[in-house]
Structure 1
Amino acid sequence: MKNLKVMLGAAVVAVALTSCKDEAKMTAEKNVDTYVVYVDSVNNLDAATKAKDWEAIQAGYEARLAEAEAALATLENEAKAKERIDDSKVKYDGVKAQAEAEAAKQKQTEAAASGNALADSLFGAGTVVGNDMTFAWVNKDNILSVYQNFYETFKTNKDSYSRQDLDKIKAWYEALDSRKNTVEKEGLTSSDNNKIAGLKLKFAPSFKWERMTAKSEENKDAKEKAN
């Protein structure tokens, strides 16, 4: 009787182990399938959606990849499962490259649009600053009004400028000052020159303060994200 109980007990344990093993195998297979399906789903998304939501997509990918790779230790046909995972990795790498390229392109477009809007506000609608920033359109007759508009626009909107905006404003302001040195030799009146000097005296400390505070806010945001 005692031996029978031992045999039955062993049989129950064996069944339980088999059941657990089968369940673990099913879970492992499901994790591999989930990973493969996820990559296929990402591949079917339109370019705009991938570019917009890429961080979330990448996070989801990494989680599913970790589960799929962990499943390999449980599966009997490990080579086949690994092949499926590797194939999906290659597919995802291609999708990722396209999404990152699209995101970079979109970012450049947005930056250009933002830069154009900023230039329009500081120098007048439709003004083409150009990468060389020569300000050839600025002359002795309009340079005072250019400085006035530049300063007044900055004073009005200074609290809304990002660090990137302030970097552009700094570069444009320095280029405008460089153009002023040329205009002075072309007949700029003493009266206009003095008024410009007054605007520069008001602009410099205000700009310095805004740039310092923007940098401080940027560092604060970076620390918060890191934590």
Structure 2
Amino acid sequence: MFTRTENFRTFLSLYPIVSLIVCIHLVFWFLFQLPIPAIQLFLGLLDGYNAGIANGEYWRLITPIFLHMTFSHLFFNTISLILFAPALERMLKKVKFILIYCISGIIANIATYLIEPLNYSHLGASGAIFGLFGVYLFIVYFRKGLIDQANSQVIISILVIGVIMTFFNSNTNVVAHLFGLFGGFLIAPLFIKKSGRFVHQTYYSPQSRSFSINKFKAKHIAWMIFGILILIGVLVQFN
């Protein structure tokens, strides 16, 4: 479910929305690196600046979801998307997936605006990414037929450690993490049906020229959790 075996072309074909979001991340990060005043001024209008929102710049409630200042911030948020978002995109399809992703991020940013001071400014996809984990959490507890026990354990482990580590760095937008998670959990019932089976992962096999199911093997769980712990630890450090 969280192991990627696709080649680049197959990944683009199977997960077009995830691929598009990653592309947007890369484009905006590249623009951040250009020492062109006009571009820097434009980007300055897109971050989650609370005073700007108070003045009616409501686009700042969504645009920060796609912005990252440093390469480390970009890298670890993007890797999180590549690992954890594809399964949801396949289950929900394009429109529902992008709605959940954006709504979770907006909820996180609204909460940040309401709770943090007016001079607070932020950017990053972590609120939306935590929203996806909120959807997974809903599936684990209320749509148990859509996910197996091994993957459920991975989800719970990621969430517990991710939430704990959120509080251990002063640069982390704690509000966005928590309310993104809460928002994803709350809106999940609107998008996740009771019926159906969860497809763990599909990949293209050049030998068979067809798609097949790659079942998540229990022996991979320990390595997966180990890698995810490192990933989340560094991710929250730069958020």
State the TM-score, normalizing by the size of structure 1.
Answer: 0.27
Per chain length, whose mean CA-contact separation is higher, i.e. which structure has more relative contact order (CA < 8 Å, sep 6+)? 2
State the TM-score, normalizing by the size of structure 2.
Answer: 0.26
Which of the pair has more CA radius of gyration? 1
